[in-house]
A and B are shown apart, each in its own frame.
Chain A
Amino acid sequence: MSSMEGALLFALIAVPFFGALVMVFFPADKHSLIHWYTRAIAFVGLVLAVYLFVTYDTDGDLGKYTVDFAWLPTLGIRYTLGLSGITTPLVLLNAIIFMAGVLVSWNVTHRPKDFFIWLTLLVSGVYGVFLATDLFFLFFFYELAVVPMYLLIGVWGSSTDFTKMEPAEGPGFGGGGKFDRPKEYGAMKLMLYLVAGSVLVWIAIVAVWAEARSATGEASFAIASLAAVEYSREFQVIFYPFFMIGFGVLAGLWPFHTWSPDGHVAAPTAVSMLHAGVLMKLGAFGILAVGMVVLPEGAEAWAPVLIGLGTVNVLYGAVSALGQRDLKYVIGYSSVSHMGYVLMGLGTLEVIGLNGAVFQMFSHGIMTGLFFAMVGIIYERTHLRDITVLEGLGKRMGVVGAFLAAAGLTSLGLPGFSSFVAELLVFIGTFRTYPLLGVLAVIGAAITAVYILRLMAKVFFGPISDRWADLEDAKPLEAAVGAALVAVLLLWGLYPFRIVEIIDSGVKPLLEGMGIA
């Protein structure tokens, strides 16, 4: 902890982590205290993240952003934290979504203490993954970020029972069939799937570590030193898929994506936000910051597969979203589709594509957070998420509708919102490497327009039924959250210079390290 920035990194993880531990001792019935306490934690994180983002030194030395502590020397494990151009926006993303998630969770009254403890722990895990530069700790935090999900969904989530839905009319809304999806199923599947992914990652980590140890005679889990080792091409080609698929599971890589819609649907609002908004990014981040960095040749060999699967993600997710009738499923599949752009960007192994991928992580995170926040409000007010039943809500919930529309427009790549810039960069990268897939990706964006507009037209437009006469629009707090998220989307949609500059400063050395740029 040589400098203030180092201390800030440390605090970024420690504040939510110890904050959660301290919360254990709070009286469980002091709801207001618990809410405000968690908000304070989130706010501290937000302040730190904003500070780090604003003052980030794109061409200075990164040494000042480090923490280093020998934790388990036998295996070469050190508790090291660092910040790079890639992680800076992601840390900010996490801080923003956490803050927003906590704020929209004002209505959590069922055991709020436990809820916020788990939520806060999860967030500290996410910070940890972004900041850790030691593979062990990266994995450690990765798991920490996954585990609380089970209870968060299982206890505070909601079940979907299509069999109980009113009969659908018109084409396009029978989608999904008669599938009973209790929240326990979603929670269990999500948990097992993500841990299954992390098992693959774990195998690869251990393999790389052992290989490096036998090559250099020195045990180390530091990503930098692992990356410095020259692994045989064969080894890289064998073990890169472990990283790619293992992390890819969390990123919603097709065909390992199905946990994501089910999980999102079952999860409570704040968890959906964090999960789709931040956690899925961990997967993509892992592929980038671990897989590609450590095993560059493997990454090159597998890049066509990654970008191909990413394209499948884009199209498959979008087309699947067309066939859904549950609001959250639409958004869940849209996340699958949008993560496809991230994966495509990663698969380009090209500077602009990678920039786009990272920016898309950020941008999709904010956007999907906004989505889930608004859908959560609708569900809270109507106790319905069935598109075929909801109609004309715009009359009563204009503000919610406006924010949902903003998220939807972001999602379909409307210029002015940051996703457009991100997707544009991904497209450029893809066109430079695999133009045909680029064309498919652009078409995917058009399909997105179809399902988003269908959703808007169904749910918010049209005549309103008497059933919703007393529907309440967004509360000021909720509206403020929505406005803040939209503002972020607009800010970097209209003028992305700074954030892309930061990302670029992280991507370039990464590619140089891989011997590509």
Chain B
Amino acid sequence: MTPDVRFELLWPEFLVAGLAFLVFTLDFFVRPARKEVLAWVSAAGLAVIIAFTVPFLLNEHDSLFDGLYRVDSYALFFKVLSMGIGIAVILGSLHFVDRRLTHPGEYYAIIIVSVLAMMMMAASGELLTAYLSLELLSFCLYILSGFALQDRRSNEASVKYVLLGAFSSGLLLYGIVLLYGALGTTHFAGMAAALEGTGGVDGRLLVGLALVVAGLGFKLAAVPFHMWAPDVYQGAPMPITAYIAVGSKAAAFALALRLFYEALAPAYDEWQLLIAGMAALTMIFGNVVAIVQTNVKRMLAYSSVGQVGFLLMGIAALSPLASNALMVHLVGYSVTNFAVFFAITAFYNATGKDDIPDFAGLAGRAPFLAAAITVGLFSLAGLPFLAGFVTKFYLFSAAAAEGLLWLAGVAMVASLISLYYYLQLIRQMYIERAPEDEGGSVTVATPGVLAAVIGAMALGTVLLGVYPEPVLATIREATAALLDTGSAWPTLGSAGQ
């Protein structure tokens, strides 16, 4: 029925899946004391697959199964990003797993599977495939967030995550089905064509769209669908928090961007304001509530809720420029958040504490960690020489170029608010003195690998802030792919003007 499917284009996916099975299997043969071998195998495996994938899929542009599965530079970009995120998380959690978790084999394997899920989310050109990939990712994260088996909070996190996740997937699926009913297909290209064709707007379409937005909003942690996020972030094991904050979000945005671009662009007028409003609400809510937090993970959770608001601007603006901006912000956000989260992980590894006052005097106890956290937080706040400055500038310019200046204004105010609570943490680290008792004077040692990951991420944050052009060039390629397939949207770039 489907002639000439170029199955070979799925090699990267197969390889990743194979790597996951390899790690599962290896787990049986590795002595408990040497489980870190698994991490190295996983990371190295992913690295090799990246090295293979990039030349292999470069300049490939194909739609498998009638557009159900895409092989293009947009997908390639996110594949590489996903695998990169995977490597970072695996290496970053090495010591954490060693000290605080059981089942390392499964841990790494599940991460690899989730990387696969992320890769497929970006490549999906059809709603059901997208949903299944998303569900696969969610399953992995449900497990991972409850991975600290003896930790009440970890369990609480996974309960909340899985129940609300199931609920949201109910909403999402109902929405998908309604869209299917209204448009007769679940393929993005077909949906776009059908949308162009229909004169009036069907009620099912709108309700379906609302449900899809709710379901995706849950995944993105956009207000008011974000409420799981702070609890899960706080409860999940530290590296997994980073992973959820970065990986899951990146994949969800990859999916959302493609969905809105390729499938829903013709109904732009219907949903633009909705997304913009959601973006505004998200950035304000996330940042305002973050102010009053006392737990670092929780504060960062709200901060990343706020960041989602910024990212949503990229969708609300929906132009090539905005897509570039969204993607570059996503990259910057990933690198930056990793720097912060892993530095906090290192701190937590050494001290077992994660409340903001616990960081008092960290600049003296662990200058490197303090510097990394500062770099990261300043970048998140959008201060210059760091990724956040450039990417936010880009994003806000793009939004303004599409007539969403008000939203850009709200975003800037929100970043100002964010600066306040970031400074609270920085103040603890640099201005306050370490408590004399409770081992406050103990220096915080960071293991080499973790230090390397943190260093790399901090360096990335700086490099992206100083000279983003190379990354942007790549992203422009990727967006171009999106534009090619999203041919149903001929007036892109002038929308909103």
Contact = CB atoms under 8 A, between A and B. Distances in A.
A–B direct touch in complex (beta carbons closer than 8 A): yes
Contacts of B409: 199, 203
B408 A199 contact: no
B285 interface: no
Interface string B397-408: 100110001001
Interface in A88-147: 125, 136, 139-141, 143-144, 147
Contacts of B408: 203, 206
A209 B390 CA distance: 15
B277 interface: no
B472 A188 contact: no
A47 interface: no
B430 interface: yes
A154 B419 contact: no
Interface string B407-433: 011001101100110010011001100
A512 to B, nearest CB: 30
Contacts of A203: 405, 408-409, 412
Contact of B416 (A141, A154, A195): A195
Interface residues of B, number: 34
Interface stretch (A68-76, A251-259, A325-333, A410-418): A68-76
Main secondary structure of the interface of A (DSSP, over half): helix
Contact of A196 (B385, B416, B423): B416
Interface string B377-397: 010000111000110011011
Given A151-B426, A199-B413, A140 B384 contact: yes
A192 interface: yes
Contacts, number: 89
B497 interface: yes
Interface residues of A, number: 33
B73 interface: no
A77 to B, nearest CB: 9
A206 B383 CA distance: 16
A155 B415 CA distance: 24
Contacts of A57: none
Given A188-B420, A214-B497, A74 B401 contact: no
A213 interface: yes
Nearest to B324: A74
Contacts of B394: 72, 75
Nearest to B392: A202
Given A140-B384, A203-B409, 14 more contacts: A73-B469, A74-B321, A125-B384, A144-B383, A144-B384, A147-B384, A151-B426, A151-B430, A155-B431, A191-B419, A192-B423, A196-B413, A202-B396, A203-B408
14 contacts: A74-B321, A74-B476, A75-B393, A139-B393, A151-B426, A154-B430, A154-B431, A184-B431, A191-B419, A192-B416, A206-B397, A206-B400, A206-B405, A214-B401
Interface of B: 321, 324, 378, 383-385, 389-390, 393-394, 396-397, 400-401, 405, 408-409, 412-413, 415-416, 419-420, 423, 426-427, 430-431, 467-469, 472, 476, 497
Interface of A: 71-75, 125, 136, 139-141, 143-144, 147, 150-151, 154-155, 184, 187-188, 191-192, 195-196, 199, 202-203, 206-207, 209-210, 213-214
